């Protein structure tokens, strides 16, 4: 019970406060909506007026632009004309100057060329003379060297020929000696075989026996049968 009294005590002022706040909010919201509607109307009027003004200003600006462009075109044409004229005069002046300078330079170059030409001819003469002198000396030296080489070659060839001849001679001699030696050896063999054959046939049985006994005696003398 005691607790219910406390709740009512608290809830009553809170409820009153909330009601008051809702009332105030509704009042001020209505005022605000009203004011906003007025402001919108005024804004729309201003915008319409501004649009009219802007259209007028754009028309003026377009007109002004056309005038400026026309004036610029005239100025450009004048400038081009003037530039062409000035440039032509300038070129004419330059060409004249160049021709004059060219003549001057041409003269100097001619002179210089002649001097150089003389110098070159002189130098060529000197060089040719030197070449001729050097060539003569070289030719003499070459002839001398050639002669020496020729003599040397002849000497070398003769020496080689002599060597080759000696070698060939030696080889032939060696070959000949070898062949002669073989022939002699062959003859010796034949003679030996013939001798053996003839002697063998000529020996009688008695002599054979005697030779065998002589061989045995000799073997005995040399201790072959020694025990």
Partner 1 sequence: MAEQYLDIIDLIQTKSQADTYLSEIELLRNSLYNVKDTVDEKMGKYLSQSLKERILSQCGKDGINSKNDKEFGHFLDGLKTTIQGLKKVTLHIAFEPKSDTIKTIFSWFSVNHKERLIIDVLVDKDLVGGAIIDFEGKHKEVTLKHALEEKFKKGEIKSLLKEI
Does residue 188 bind partner 1 (CB under 8 A)? yes
- 161-199 residues labelled b (16+ CB within 10 A) or e (exposed): eeeeeeeeeeeeeeeeeeeeeeeeeeeeeeeeeeeeeee
Does residue 208 bind partner 1 (CB under 8 A)? yes
By CB under 8 A, which span of 1-9, 22-30, 50-58, 189-197 interacts with partner 1?
Answer: 189-197
Does residue 183 bind partner 1 (CB under 8 A)? no
C-alpha neighbours within 13 Å on the C-beta side of residue 202? 6
Lay out the site mask for partner 1 across 60-89 (x = CB under 8 A, - = otherwise).
------------------------------
Of residues 29 and 215, the one with the C-beta less far from partner 1: 215
Query: Could you give the CA distance from residue 106 to residue 22 in angstroms, rounded to a whole number?
Result: 112
For the record, the structure tokens of 147 come out as 């002669």
Nearest approach, Cβ of residue 216 and partner 1 (Å): 6
Using CB under 8 A, count the residues that bind partner 1.
Answer: 26
Look up tokens 């909010």; give the residue: 25
Does residue 216 bind partner 1 (CB under 8 A)? yes
Query: Could you give the CA distance from residue 214 to residue 220 in angstroms, rounded to a whole number?
Result: 10
Does residue 8 bind partner 1 (CB under 8 A)? no
Does residue 205 bind partner 1 (CB under 8 A)? yes
- Region of 112 (left: φ > 0; alpha: ψ -120 to 50; beta: rest) is alpha
- Residue from 41, 66, 117, 218 in contact with partner 1 (CB under 8 A): 218
The binding site for partner 1 (CB under 8 A) comprises 188, 191-192, 195-196, 199-200, 203, 205, 207-209, 211-220, 222, 224-225, 227
């Amino acid at each position: 019970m005691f607790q219910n009294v406390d709740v009512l005590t608290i809830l009553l002022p809170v409820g009153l406060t909330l009601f008051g706040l809702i009332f105030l909010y509704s009042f001020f919201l209505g005022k605000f909506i009203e004011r906003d509607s007025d402001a919108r109307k005024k804004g729309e009027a201003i915008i319409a007026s501004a649009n009219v003004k802007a259209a007028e200003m754009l028309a003026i600006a377009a007109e002004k632009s056309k005038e400026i462009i026309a004036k610029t075109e005239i100025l450009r044409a004048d400038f081009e004309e003037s530039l062409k004229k000035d440039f032509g005069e300038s070129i004419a002046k330059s060409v004249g100057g160049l021709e004059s300078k060219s003549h001057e330079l041409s003269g100097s170059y001619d002179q210089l060329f002649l001097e150089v030409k003389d110098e070159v001819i002189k130098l060529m003469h000197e060089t040719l003379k030197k070449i001729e002198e050097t060539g003569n000396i070289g030719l003499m030296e070459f002839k001398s060297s050639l002669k020496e080489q020729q003599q040397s070659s002849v000497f070398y060839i003769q020496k080689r020929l002599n060597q080759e001849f000696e070698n060939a001679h030696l080889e032939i001699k060696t070959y000949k000696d070898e062949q002669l030696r073989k022939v002699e050896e062959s003859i010796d063999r034949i003679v030996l075989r013939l001798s053996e054959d003839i002697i063998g046939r000529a020996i009688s049985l008695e002599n054979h026996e005697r030779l065998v006994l002589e061989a045995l005696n000799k073997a005995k003398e040399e201790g072959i049968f020694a025990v």
